[in-house]
Chain A
Amino acid sequence: MAVPVSNEERLFSLVLALLATETGLTKADVLSSVQGYRQRYRPGGNNASLERQFERDKEDVRDLGVPLESIELPADQGASQYTRYRIPKGAYDLPADVTFTPQEIALLNLAALAWREGSLSGESRRALMKLRSLGIDSDEPLLGYAPRLRARDAAFDPLSGAIERHHVVRFGYLKPGDTQTRRRQLAPHALVQFGGRWHVHGTDQRSGEPRTFLLSRIVGPVEETSIEFPAPEGDPAADALASLREETARNVAQVTVQPGSDAAARLGRRAESADDGRLTLHYTDLQVLADELASFGPEVLVHEPAALVAAVRERLEAVAAAHGGTDG
C-alpha cells in the first residue's frame, strides 16, 4: 500500500506544479498528475471528494497571498472542465526591488510583536517567516520589549477581510448612550485605532454618508454580504484618522474637578487648565466622554457644552434611580 501523502506535501506540490506551467493545468490535469491527488484519482470514476479537496486547497493557497489564477478561454466560458489554473511567477515572486535593511527588519520584528492575540498575531508571524526567507539578519531589537496591541474585538477579523474584498457588511451596533442594539449596513473602508479604541470607517449604506463606528460597540457577529462597492480613493486610513482628529479638535468640553481626586489625576493629564480652575478637554464622541465623566461621580462638574452636561446628569440620575429602591 502506498504511504499516504501529507496535506503539507500535497499543497506544496500543487504550488510547484502551478508555478511550473505556462499555459495552466485543468482540474483533471491536477487531479490525475499532481502528488497527493493522483494517488487518490480514479480515471473515469467519481472524483467528487477529490474535487472538493482541490477547491479547499485553492482557497488555502490563495489565503497565503499566492496568486493562483483561473483562466477561462472565451470559447469555453461556463464549462468548468476547461478552466485552467496557474500561478504566474511574476505575481508570485516578491518584487526584486523590494529589499530591507537589517535595521528595517528589526523594526518589522517589533511590529509583528505588537500583536498579542487574535488572528493578526498569526498573520504577523507568517509575514516574519516570509521576511526571514530573504536571509537578512536583523539588528538587535531596538528594545527588550514592546507594549502590545490588542485586537480583542471579535469584529476586527471579519471587518478587515471585508475591507480587502470590498464587501458591504451588516452588524448590530450599540451606540454609546443607547441601550438598544440597531442594525447597521456599512461599506467598510478602513480600520483605525484612535484614542486607544478601534474604529471602522466607511459609508453607511442607508444614509450614504461617511460614518465611524467603535468596534467595542459592535454586538454579535459581523455578516459579510456579497454586495461589492468600489474601492475608496486615496488613503482611507489616513483620511479616517484625519477626520477623527478634526472632530476631536472641534469638540471642546469644560469641566472642574475636585483637587486630589482620581478625576484630577486622570483628566488633569489630558486637559488644558485655565486660571479659574476649569479644565478644557477635547473629545471624539460626546456619549463616550459622558460615560467616562459619569464614572467620576461627584469628582467632576461639567460646565459645557450643554448637551454633555445633560448627558452626564442623565446618566448619574439613571444609575441613582436604578440603585435607589430598597428591594434592589
Chain B
Amino acid sequence: MADAQPQRVQDRLAFLLALVPYLLDNDGVSVGQAAAHFHVPEQRIREAVELIAVSGVPGDSRQYQHGDLFDIDWDRFETDDEIAITHQVAIDDSPRFSAREAAALIAGLQYLSALPENADRATIATLTAKLTRAAATTPAAVGVEGEADDRLGLVRSAIADSAVLRFDYLNGRGLREERAVEPLRVESVDESWYLRAWDRSRSALRTFRLDRMAEVRIDPDARSERPDDLELPERIFQPSKQDLTVVIELAEAAVPLLADYLGDRPVLEPTKRRGWVRTRLRISHLHGLKRLVTQRSGLVQVIEPEEARRTVADWAAAGAARYR
C-alpha cells in the first residue's frame, strides 16, 4: 500500500535526500522496486529521478556545467525503467533524523514496549540509543509508560486471525448481555482501552470498553459475516439516529475536555454567566450523561430536557447521600 502522498515541499525535499543514497547503493534498481521500497507510486520515483538527474552544484564556473550535475543512464531509464546514477555530486549518505523525527519514533517505540507482545525492553533501549545518535540535535525527551489490560492479548490475536469474539458485556445502562463481535481495532483514549468491532446481533459497528468485558473467548466455529466494504470511521464515538440531544452549559475552559463528545467544531453560544457557553451534546443514553456530568463537577451543567437534568441530579444526590 502506498503511503499518503506528502504535500509539503519539505517532505518532497526529504524524499530527494533519501532517494539519492538508496539509488547509489542499489545501482540499476527498477522503478517498480524503488517505488515498492519507499511505498510511493512509480510516477513519483520517475519524477524525482528526472529532477535529480538535472540537479547539482554551481561549480567553479557557477554555471552548472555538465560535470557539476548528477547524471543517469538515460537509455536504461527510458527503455528499461531502471535507474543507474552515472555521476554523483555532494551527497552519498543518508541524512540524519531531525530531533522531532527521532522523538516521534522513540515515543512510538516506548508505546509499543508497553504492550505484552513487544515487551523486549533491551531491543527498545538499543533502538532508542541509535535514534538519539542518528538525530541532528538531541530529541525532545518523550516517555511513555503504558498500562496493558489483560484482555488485550486475546483481543489482539482475534483481530490478527479475523476470529469472532464472544464476551459478557456490562453496557452503559448497567445491563449484562452476551455479545458476539468481529473485532476490528483496539484503541486507547486516556486511560481506557476500547474495542471497535462489528456487532453481529445488531449488524452495526459498535465500540466496547475493554474494562466492561468479562468471560472473553474466541468462538472457533463462527465465520465472518461483516460486509466486505466496511469502513471504520476515524472518530471513536459515532453519533447514531437514536441519540438524544441535550442542551448543556459549560465553562469555556472545559470545552477541550469534552472534545470527544462535542465534535470538531461545536456551536458555542454565549450565556449570561461570564466564561460559560451553551451548546448541544448528542448522547446515546442518559446513563452515560449522568457519569459524564458528575465527572466534570463545576464545569458542566445540563439545561434541558428536564428528564436529563433530573437524571443527573438524582445520580449526584444518591452519591452524596452515601456520605451522610
Residue of A nearest to B193 (CB): A147
Q: Is the CB of A149 within 8 A of B107?
A: yes
In this complex, how many residues of chain B approach chain A with their Cβ under 8 Å: the count is: 129
Interface residues of B in 1-50 (CB under 8 A from A): 3-4, 6, 9-19, 21-22, 25-26, 37-39
Nearest A residue to B210, CB-CB: A269
Q: Report A288-324 residues with CB < 8 Å from chain B CB.
A: 291-292, 294-298, 300-301, 309, 312-320, 322-324
Complex contacts, B251 vs chain A, CB 8 Å:
179
**Residue pair B309, A296 in contact (C-beta under 8 Å):** no
Q: How far is the CA of A12 from the CA of B69 in the complex (A)?
A: 12
Question: Is B123 part of the contact surface with A, judged by Cβ < 8 Å?
Answer: yes
Choice from B57, B124, B136, B142 contacting A16 with Cβ under 8 Å: B57
Question: Digit string of B160-195 for contact with A (CB within 8 Å is 1, else 0)?
Answer: 100000000010101010000000011111111100
- How far apart are the CA atoms of A291 and B292 in the complex, in Å? 10
Report yes or no: B17 in contact with A15, Cβ–Cβ below 8 A: yes
* A166 → B minimal CB distance (Å): 10
Residues in chain A near residue B306, CB distance under 8 A: 328
Decide if A209 is an interface residue (CB 8 Å cutoff).
no
Contact B313 A147 (CB under 8 A): no
**Contact flag A316-B94 (CB < 8 Å), given A130-B14, A149-B111, A196-B191:** no
Rounded to whole Å, the gap between the CB of B160 and the closest CB of chain A is: 5
The answer to whether A108 touches B127 (Cβ under 8 A) is yes
B315 near A297 with CB under 8 A, answer yes
Query: B133 near A95 (CB under 8 angstroms)?
Result: yes
B230 interfacial contact with A, CB 8 Å = no
B window 107-153: CB within 8 A of A: 107-109, 111-112, 115, 117-118, 123-124, 126-127, 130, 133-147, 149
In the A-B complex, the 8 residue pairs with the smallest Cβ-Cβ separation, listed nearest first, are A65-B98, A111-B108, A237-B143, A196-B191, A133-B18, A295-B295, A315-B297, A323-B313
Supply 16 further A-B pairs (C-beta < 8 A) apart from A93-B95, A133-B94: A11-B10, A64-B17, A65-B96, A65-B136, A111-B111, A145-B159, A147-B193, A148-B188, A164-B99, A192-B142, A192-B145, A196-B147, A260-B176, A265-B214, A319-B293, A320-B316
25 contacts between A and B (CB under 8 A): A19-B90, A19-B91, A93-B95, A94-B93, A95-B96, A104-B127, A121-B104, A127-B104, A132-B39, A133-B21, A150-B188, A164-B100, A197-B190, A216-B257, A266-B209, A294-B319, A295-B295, A297-B316, A316-B316, A316-B320, A319-B316, A320-B313, A324-B313, A328-B304, A328-B309
